[in-house]
């Protein structure tokens, strides 16, 4: 009955989205351009709303339904939509033109700012996406070390490039997509972040001369916001030094998300290379590989053995450079707000879990500071490990949760998403009220 009523309510208020979805599935594979953007709603015979505009943390769809946005452009919009400083700079820049394919003042300015903010970044190379940045960082590592293998964490998401799209999804068969080489052919090894150091050490010792790099998100973002144990990160740093391999941090999500600057500075584990994107590009298409001068310099075309990275038409996209510079300028001014949203996110996670546990519900919240994920499960779990959560994930329950949230004016993805500097207690209180209303009903469904 609940499902039926929620669907009825949803469709009634989304007449234009309904017909646009019908058109979309005819012309786009699955109606989408990024796999998670359907919110799993087709599993319960619904579809995602088509968003037409955003302001601050409100987004409106083409049927004029409004939502408080917890997705914030794949975590990229820490200032919310259309921040005045960013939009004014973008408007000014649009008047000058939007694509030259040349060197640009702003690319040097943004590179200098990132270098100034982060001791581990001595030089950078821009590209257009996080996906490209992790692919290029891996290539640089292979070239620099003259070794073959890249080690990554299971569940770690570095974009869907052919280099690293391995063991992202449960049950970690090493074959995340048809069309990819096998793990062995691709030269990739994987480990669990919950493995102890001895296990990882053994894995590395099996290939004493072959490890080019270990790449890891210091907080597994897409997986659910799981901070990797700092001792484990320190250990990875030590073993890479010992093996003449490189440590690569994927800070595409964590860069400038929890503090002004990279997360690595906070935990004082400085990798050889760092991948960035999202916030640093101000919410426009951007990827960055930064790190040791001697490694990044391998991409210098003057270098007779240069590593070919970043041949992109839109590399260092002029608008992304402007948006990135202005975003960093603005978050620098507001840097004291980081601790507020970090606390807000932590308290949201705690409140969610208290409610889920007290009522024995099939949900569990994970996250770190301003990153929040609600996992929809097959059965209630208390104190689960990350792998228990993916093992017990229930996509239909997640779809119904998403639908019920949308019906109540909340836009999340991937089990909610992240907080921006604009989210306040009042938003969190409303989200909690909604969760307390709907989650017991949704939990009782036998999907």
Q: Is 17 exposed, middle or buried (0-12, 13-18, 19+ CB in 10 A)?
A: buried
Pick the closer one to ligand PLP by CB: 160 or 186: 160
Pick the closer one to ligand PLP by CB: 129 or 394: 129
71-74-78-83 Cα dihedral, nearest 10 degrees: -90
State how far the Cα of 400 lies from the Cα of 42, in Å rounded to an integer: 10
**CB 251 to ligand PLP: min, Å:** 8
**CB 75 to ligand PLP: min, Å:** 7
Pick the closer one to ligand PLP by CB: 144 or 157: 157
State how far the Cα of 225 lies from the Cα of 242, in Å rounded to an integer: 29
- Is residue 215 within 8 A of residue 156, CB to CB? The reply is yes
Pick the closer one to ligand PLP by CB: 253 or 325: 253
Which residues are 125's β-sheet partners?
A: 289
Pick the closer one to ligand PLP by CB: 264 or 353: 264
Look-up of token digits 């991937």: 414
**CB 245 to ligand PLP: min, Å:** 20
**CB 277 to ligand PLP: min, Å:** 4
Helix (H, G, I), strand (E, B) or coil at 300: coil
Pick the closer one to ligand PLP by CB: 34 or 379: 34
Number of residue whose CB is nearest ligand PLP = 130
**CB 74 to ligand PLP: min, Å:** 6
CB neighbours of 185 closer than 8 A, spacing ≥ 6?
none
Q: Find the angle CA(92)-CA(58)-CA(24) to the nearest 5 degrees.
A: 90
Binding site for ligand PLP (CB under 6 A): 74, 129-131, 134, 157-159, 217, 221-222, 250, 252-253, 277, 287
- Is residue 252 within 8 A of residue 263, CB to CB? The reply is no
**CB 220 to ligand PLP: min, Å:** 8
């Amino acid at each position: 009955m609940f499902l039926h009523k929620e669907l009825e309510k949803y469709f009634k208020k989304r007449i234009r989205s309904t017909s646009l979805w019908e058109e979309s599935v005819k012309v786009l594979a699955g109606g989408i351009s990024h796999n998670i953007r359907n919110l799993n709603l087709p599993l319960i015979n619904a579809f995602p709303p088509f968003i037409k505009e955003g302001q601050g943390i409100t987004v409106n769809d083409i049927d004029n339904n409004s939502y408080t946005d917890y997705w914030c452009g794949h975590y990229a919009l820490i200032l919310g939509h259309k921040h005045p400083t960013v939009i004014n700079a973008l408007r000014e820049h649009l008047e000058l033109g939007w694509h030259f394919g040349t060197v640009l003042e702003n690319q040097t300015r943004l590179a200098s700012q990132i270098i100034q903010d982060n001791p581990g970044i001595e030089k950078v190379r821009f590209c257009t996406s996080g996906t490209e940045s992790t692919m290029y960082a891996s290539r640089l590592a292979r070239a620099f070390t003259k070794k073959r293998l890249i080690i990554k964490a299971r569940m770690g998401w570095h974009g869907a490039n052919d280099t690293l799209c391995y063991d992202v999804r449960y049950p970690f068969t090493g074959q995340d997509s048809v069309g990819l080489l096998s793990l062995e052919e691709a030269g990739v090894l994987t480990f669990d972040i919950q493995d102890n150091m001895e296990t990882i050490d053994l894995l590395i010792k099996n290939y004493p001369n072959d490890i080019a790099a270990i790449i890891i998100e210091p907080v597994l973002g897409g997986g659910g916001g799981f901070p990797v144990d700092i001792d484990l990160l320190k250990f990875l740093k030590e073993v890479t030094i010992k093996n003449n391999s490189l440590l690569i941090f994927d800070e595409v999500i964590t860069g400038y998300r929890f503090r002004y600057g990279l997360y690595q500075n906070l935990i004082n584990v400085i990798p050889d290379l760092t991948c960035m994107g999202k916030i640093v590009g101000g919410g426009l298409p951007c990827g960055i590989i930064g790190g040791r001068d001697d490694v990044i310099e391998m991409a210098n075309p003057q270098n007779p053995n240069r590593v070919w990275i970043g041949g992109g038409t839109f590399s260092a996209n002029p608008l992304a450079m402007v948006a990135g510079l202005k975003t960093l300028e603005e978050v620098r001014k507001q840097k004291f707000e980081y601790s507020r949203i970090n606390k807000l996110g932590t308290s949201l996670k705690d409140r969610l879990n208290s409610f889920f546990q007290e009522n024995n519900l099939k949900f569990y919240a994970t996250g770190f500071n301003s990153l929040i994920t609600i996992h929809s499960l097959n059965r209630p779990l208390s104190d689960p490990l990350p792998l228990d959560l993916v093992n017990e994930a229930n996509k239909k329950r997640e779809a119904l949760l998403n639908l019920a949230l949308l019906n109540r004016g909340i836009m999340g993805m991937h089990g909610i998403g992240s907080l921006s500097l604009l989210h306040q207690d009042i938003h969190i209180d409303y989200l909690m009220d909604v969760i307390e209303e709907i989650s017991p009903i949704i939990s009782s469904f036998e999907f």
